[in-house]
């Protein structure tokens, strides 16, 4: 079971790489107000949702305690991220503030994941 959990943590991290990496490649464009939500960001956000839900299930099946408040906060932030990226996925340009919000919330979720023990 431990190996399976670690495999899903690795997939979860690949999801972060895709979401945050997609954001970072658009930083210069964000400054010019011409950034767009790339497919990598949408697929990364979806990967986070699926692997996160699987991780909750695997940890519970393994009788490990899951911090429901922490997971709830992470889920709530991801729902906002995913909603924005999904709704605006075909927009050629996304406003600076909205684009920055997605990168900011992703970063906040990373700190919540590692600092909230």
Does the footprint of ligand HEM cover residue 11 (CB under 6 A)?
A: no
The 3 state secondary structure assigned to 48-92 is HHHHHHHHHHHHHHCCCCCCHHHHHHHHHHHHHHHHHHHHCCCCC
Which of the stretches 33-41, 47-55, 83-91, 94-102 binds ligand HEM when contact is defined by CB under 6 A? 47-55
Which of the stretches 24-32, 34-42, 69-77, 94-102 binds ligand HEM when contact is defined by CB under 6 A? 69-77
φ, ψ of residue 92 in degrees (nearest 5): -75, -25
Residues that bind ligand HEM (CB under 6 A): 9, 12, 16, 48-49, 52-53, 55-56, 59, 66, 71, 74-75, 78, 81, 106, 109-110, 113-114
């Amino acid at each position: 079971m431990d190996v399976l959990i670690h495999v899903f943590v690795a997939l979860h991290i690949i999801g972060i790489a895709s979401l945050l990496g997609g954001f970072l490649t658009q930083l210069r464009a964000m400054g010019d107000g011409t950034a767009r939500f790339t497919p990598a960001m949408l697929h990364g956000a979806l990967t986070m949702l699926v692997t996160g839900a699987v991780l909750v299930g695997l940890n519970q099946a393994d009788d490990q305690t899951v911090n429901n408040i922490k997971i709830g906060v992470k889920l709530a932030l991801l729902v906002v991220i995913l909603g924005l990226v999904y709704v605006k996925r075909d927009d050629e340009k996304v406003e600076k503030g909205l684009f920055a919000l997605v990168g900011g919330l992703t970063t906040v979720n990373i700190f919540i994941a590692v600092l909230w023990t």
